[in-house]
Amino acid sequence: MIQQSRYLGDILKEKEIIASAPCRLDVSGTWDLKAFALLYEHIPPTTTNMALSPRTYVCLKPFKDKWIRISDDTASEEYRIDDIHFDTRFKLIFAIAAHFNVHGFEIQLSYESPPRSGLGGSGVLAITAIAAINKACEAFGEPEFSKPYIIELAHNIEDGLRYSYTGMQDQCAAAYGGVNKWHWTYASPESKFKRINLLSPPSFPALDSRLVVAYIGRSHTSDDVNSQQVAWFLNGRTRAPWFRINEIANEFAEALLASDWEKAGALISEETAIRCELVPSRITPIGEKLMEIAHTLKAGFSTAGAGNGGCVWALCREPKDAVDLKSYWSEVLCKVETAKLLDVKIDSKGLIVSK
């Protein structure tokens, strides 16, 4: 028997629901893809990531009966519950709404980081949308979802609909915040990941003061990079370099624990060199200029996510080096429309839902 869709308008008239979560930077990100992690679970496949303070916000408001509307500051789309399109700009959010079988609401999206910047934005969107709708559905007697459940549901919807190559690291960083090392255990009947917390909030300022993140002025395109990486990994053409990248994730985590900033920086530069050799298109001419400047100051350098636009980041040996690097990078970025430095700190809170 098909369950009748549920109307959220009356619930949201009483109080709007807001959910937010942080974006992330990562080392060894691609190892959270099932195509990598399932085949080599014995390694184990590892990603180390850092949740960043720029947050994505989802606000649920009442809307017309039988309708769903999704909007941000540049576009909006609305469909009847029985005629939702899953191939549009906001397709991921509409897919999540369809999963819950609810209607009569609007989701307003807002972003503190540039969209499509390689900082895990789609995963953050999915986490916040699921958490917000789940909070609304508690009025129907549904239980509050745990963070692992939200993470797995967000991953399954995005991965299952083939909207992009996605693992779980974006969703994990969004849900938990902080600085963590993750082992990917997709074959386990219990949990699909193991979390190892690396740093506590009192130690975040030392990392904050050494991080420099910049948006290079154009959005990134991850599909071409990721599809090429996966294809070459599966046919054996590039497997050895990927094993080294997985080792780097563990070594980077150890360097953070030891506050060995020089080694941590060298490791992210090594990973970047490997990735750019595998897929040269992951770094743009502007990115190359910023990388050269970072290396001159002996700072580690990386492209965010799959690269090919979006954000780049650096890890400096000393806070004063970060101050200098920001100044030098600004001279390059000011010549590119919409390019800019991002004001970031490590986020300790992860997913937040308020009503």
Query: Which residues in the chain are classed under CATH 3.30.230.10?
Result: 6-200+348-354
In the block, residue with structure tokens 């030891």:
258
Q: In the 8-state DSSP scheme, what is residue 32?
A: G
Contact 159, 139 (CB under 8 A): no
Tokens 């806070």 belong to which residue?
A: 319
Token pair listed for 106 = 């609007």
Q: Name the 3-class secondary structure at 176.
A: helix
According to the model, what pLDDT value does residue 39 have?
A: 96
Q: With respect to CATH, is domain 202-342 assigned 3.30.930.10?
A: no
Q: Looking at residue 46, what DSSP letter applies?
A: E
Distance, in Å, from the CA atom of 143 to the CA atom of 12, rounded to the nearest integer, reads 18
CATH 3.30.70.890 placement within the chain: 202-342
Structure tokens, 173? 């960083």
Q: What is the pLDDT of residues 286-306, one digit of tens each?
A: 999 999 999 999 999 999 976
Instruction: Mean pLDDT check: name the lowest of 21-30, 84-93, 150-159, 307-316.
Output: 307-316
Q: Kindly report which listed range (46-55, 203-212, 235-244) carries the lowest average pLDDT score.
A: 235-244
Do residues 290 and 329 make contact, with C-beta atoms less than 8 angstroms apart? yes
For residues 345 and 293, the answer to whether their CB atoms sit within 8 Å is no
What average pLDDT does the segment 339-354 reach?
97
Round to whole Å and give the CA distance between 39 and 244.
Answer: 16
- Report DSSP state, residue 346: B
Q: Quick one: pLDDT at residue 231?
A: 86
Check residue 218 and give its pLDDT.
74
Whether omega for the bond prior to residue 44 falls within 30 degrees of 0, making it cis, is: yes
Residues of the chain above pLDDT 70, percent = 97
pLDDT band at 220 (very low <50, low <70, confident <90, very high): low
What percentage of the chain reaches a pLDDT higher than 90?
Answer: 84
- The fold for domain 6-200+348-354 equals Ribosomal Protein S5; domain 2 (3.30.230)
